[in-house]
């Protein structure tokens, strides 16, 4: 009880300290905006209340301590990207009911051989690949119980005491987390970053531009993670029976059902409409990815399987939509709005720009370390909401083109490995040792940060297209 009370008081205490101590440097409203950010981070880490409750704090605090017009805060909870998250959820919700999610996962996993190293590689790359197209939390929730069931089928009943469970569950958690960097649809944090770029450029951001620039980085980092995981001491070299286990599971599924086919068609259509947006943007300017996903998501309520059952009902949507993620995303946007519109981001950028930065390797390193620390101790979405406006303000102050630094920051906030927060809490809930997560994750956090710094710097130096967007 005492610990819970202290964790509650930590947020208001940080807010008060910022208001009193940073008033001179950032102004009253700016200091309060920074205090709001630290309050939210403290509660996201300590979790005295649900993370979704914390996400509402910008509205509550702006009511008592007016920092910016309330319309600017409230509008973030119904933004275009919130609509996209809702639409994507509606499109993917029927997968569980029809069994399409299990079919795709088991089909991929049926290729796994008995080698433990092969197991690690397949789980890592399968989770990363799925996370390119689906929210990373969804992927982690799908694959974790399948992996646990596989381990138990070959004689590892106690997951907490099974040494093989750690690398496999880590592969899923880390693959799901980093795979989200592959496309804007990989997680809410990417959409937060895109919203700032659209505000900066005054132009709709094309999703294909993200994929072209981020996919090479994703592949490089996956190889780095895999090589790091191959350094683990494994108690056995082979895990016999796994391939047969998944092949038997796939055979038991039978042929693809009509409902599964419909779900897959709608999903592929929504993806095509998103990534081929440049081809029809002039013809249908209003049909942005957010609205195409929502339209197809609504269509799910009307489609039926061969048995006459609706693919999606409102009752299923009420229970299945990831409202937590939507609130977290919206709260991150609202926080970013406070930091930006109060001038806190601009003044923070002024302070950083006085460090004689030239936009080179040191500048990139500062941005990456700052963002990675935020991602580890709060959430990817919160890190994006705080880091992106600061980075963009700094680059403007330095007279730099913000595009490459924006992409590098987006790489960084997708790197989080250590604490049992966000998607990493899912394998922990299935029995993975938290100490193993932190022990294995800490070196990888450092390796990944260095990888982002090096890859980002090399991309800027030798890939001209990385630093530009055609509509800027």
Q: Are residues 41 and 171 in the same domain?
A: no
Q: What's the rounded Cα separation, in Å, for the pair 178 and 445?
A: 12
For residues 187 and 39, membership in a common domain is answered with no
Q: 441 or 157: whose pLDDT is higher? A: 441
Determine the Cα angle at 295 with ends 290 and 298, to 5°.
Answer: 125
Q: 146 vs 209, which has greater pLDDT?
A: 209
321 in the same domain as 198: yes
The phi, psi pair for 356, rounded to 5°, reads: 55, 40
Q: Is there a domain that residue 294 lies in?
A: yes
Where is 469: in which H helix or E strand? none
Tell me what percent of the residues of the chain surpass a pLDDT of 70. Answer: 87
Greater pLDDT, 201 or 138: 201
User: Is 34 among the domain residues?
Assistant: yes
Pick from 118, 140, 115: which is nearest to 127 by CA?
Answer: 140
42/123 same-domain check:
no
- Secondary structure class of 426 (helix, strand, coil): helix
Q: CA 379, 431, 428: angle at the middle one, nearest 5? A: 5
CA dihedral 98, 317, 47, 38 (to 10 degrees): 120
* Block residue for tokens 């946007």: 333
What's the confidence (pLDDT) of residue 448? Answer: 95
| Residue 138 domain-assigned (yes or no) | yes
On the 0-12 / 13-18 / 19+ scale of CB atoms within 10 A, 420 is middle
Residue range 387-409: mean pLDDT, rounded: 89
Going by pLDDT thresholds of 50, 70 and 90, the confidence category of residue 310 is confident
Half-sphere exposure of 376 (CA within 13 A, CB side): 19
Q: Are residues 62 and 30 in the same domain?
A: no
336 in the same domain as 416? yes
Q: With respect to residue 472, please indicate whether it lies within any of the assigned structural domains.
A: no
Judgement on whether residues 310 and 218 belong to the same structural domain of the protein:
yes
Which sign does the torsion angle of CA 373, 379, 384, 390 carry?
Answer: negative
Element (H, E) at 161: none
Indicate whether 159 pLDDT > 80: no
Q: Are residues 385 and 410 in the same domain?
A: yes
Start-to-end CA span in the chain (Å): 54
In a domain, 256, yes or no: yes
Q: How far is Cα 194 from Cα 353, in angstroms, rounded to an integer?
A: 24
For residue 178, give its domain range. 50-467
Predicted confidence at residue 152, as pLDDT, reads: 67
pLDDT at 157 exceeding the cut of 60: no
Residue 306 falls within a domain, yes or no? yes
Q: Are residues 383 and 425 in contact, defined by beta-carbon separation less than 8 angstroms?
A: no
Across 8-12, 239-243, 332-336, least confident range: 239-243
Phi, psi of 422 (to 5 degrees): 55, -135
Asked whether the beta carbons of 225 and 421 are under 8 A apart, the reply is no
| Measured torsion, CA atoms of residues 80, 194, 182, 466, in degrees rounded to the nearest 10 | 150
- How far is it, in rounded angstroms, from Cα 41 to Cα 413? 15
284 and 246 part of one domain: yes
Pick from 344, 303, 289, 362: which is nearest to 87 by CA?
289
Residue 320 CB neighbour total at 10 angstroms: 18
- Phi and psi, residue 238, nearest 5°: -130, 150
Cα separation, 29 vs 149, whole angstroms: 52
**What pLDDT was estimated at residue 45?**
72
pLDDT score of 409 more than 90: yes
- Diameter over CA atoms, the chain: 68
120, 320, 409 from 422: Cα distances, Å = 21, 18, 19
Rg of the Cα atoms in the chain: 22
Q: What is the mean pLDDT of residues 94-105?
A: 76
Max mean pLDDT range (152-166, 180-194, 214-228, 303-317): 214-228
Number of domains in the chain: 2
For residue 310, the cross-strand partners are 304
Helix (H) / strand (E) containing 352: helix 344-353
Residue 360 domain-assigned (yes or no):
yes
Reported as a pLDDT band with limits 50, 70 and 90, residue 225 is very high
Q: Stretch 428-443: mean pLDDT, rounded?
A: 79
333 and 368 fall within a common domain: yes
pLDDT mean across residues, the chain: 82
Tell me the C-alpha distance between 210 and 410, whole Å.
10
Contact 433/165 with Cβ under 8 angstroms?
no
Indicate whether 250 and 334 sit together in one domain: yes
Q: How far apart are CA 437 and CA 416, in angstroms?
A: 11
Q: How confident is the model at residue 423 (pLDDT cuts 50, 70, 90)?
A: confident
pLDDT of 140 strictly over 70: yes
Tell me which DSSP letter residue 304 carries: B
Same domain as 435, residue 323: yes
Grouping H, G, I as helix, E, B as strand and the rest as coil, residue 231 is coil
């Amino acid at each position: 009880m005492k610990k819970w009370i202290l964790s509650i008081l930590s947020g208001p205490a940080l807010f008060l300290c910022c208001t009193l101590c940073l008033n001179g440097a950032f102004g009253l409203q700016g200091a309060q905006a920074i205090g709001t950010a630290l309050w939210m981070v403290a509660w996201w880490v300590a979790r005295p209340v649900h993370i979704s409750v914390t996400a509402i704090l910008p509205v509550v605090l702006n009511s008592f301590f007016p920092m910016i017009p309330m319309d600017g805060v409230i509008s973030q909870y119904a933004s275009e990207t919130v609509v996209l998250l809702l639409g994507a959820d509606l499109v993917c919700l029927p997968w569980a009911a029809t069994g399409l999610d299990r079919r795709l996962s088991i089909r991929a996993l049926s290729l796994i051989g008995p080698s433990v190293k092969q197991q690690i590689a397949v789980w890592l790359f399968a989770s990363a690949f799925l996370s390119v197209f689906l929210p990373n939390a969804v992927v982690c929730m799908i694959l974790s119980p399948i992996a646990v069931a596989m381990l138990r089928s070959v004689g590892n009943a106690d997951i907490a005491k099974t040494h093989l469970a750690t690398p496999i569950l880590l592969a899923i958690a880390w693959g799901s987390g980093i795979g989200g960097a592959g496309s804007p649809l990989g997680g809410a944090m990417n959409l937060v970053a895109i919203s700032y770029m659209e505000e900066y450029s005054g132009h709709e951001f094309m999703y294909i531009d993200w994929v072209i620039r981020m996919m090479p980085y994703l592949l490089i980092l996956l190889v780095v993670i895999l090589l790091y995981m191959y350094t683990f001491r494994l108690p056995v070299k082979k895990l016999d029976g796994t391939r047969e286990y998944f092949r038997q599971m796939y055979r038991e599924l039978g042929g693809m059902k009509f409902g599964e086919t419909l779900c897959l068609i709608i999903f592929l259509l929504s993806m095509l409409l998103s990534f081929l947006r440049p081809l029809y943007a002039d013809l249908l300017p209003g049909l942005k990815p957010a609205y195409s996903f929502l339209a197809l998501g609504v269509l799910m309520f009307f489609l039926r399987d061969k048995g006459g059952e609706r693919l999606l009902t409102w009752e299923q949507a009420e229970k299945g939509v990831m409202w937590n993620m939507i609130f977290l995303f919206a709260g991150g946007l609202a926080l970013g709005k406070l930091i930006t519109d109060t001038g806190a981001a601009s003044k923070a950028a002024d302070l950083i720009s006085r460090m004689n930065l030239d936009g080179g390797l040191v500048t990139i390193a500062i941005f990456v370390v700052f963002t990675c620390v935020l991602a580890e101790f709060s959430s990817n979405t919160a890190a994006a909401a705080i880091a992106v406006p600061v980075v963009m303000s700094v680059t403007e102050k330095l007279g730099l083109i913000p595009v490459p630094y924006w992409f590098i920051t987006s790489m960084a906030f997708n790197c989080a490995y250590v604490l049992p927060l966000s998607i990493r809490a899912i394998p922990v809930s299935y029995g993975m040792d938290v100490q193993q997560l932190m022990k294995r994750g800490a070196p990888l956090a450092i390796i990944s940060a260095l990888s982002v710094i090096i890859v980002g710097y090399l991309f800027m130096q030798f890939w001209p297209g990385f630093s530009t967007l055609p509509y800027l």
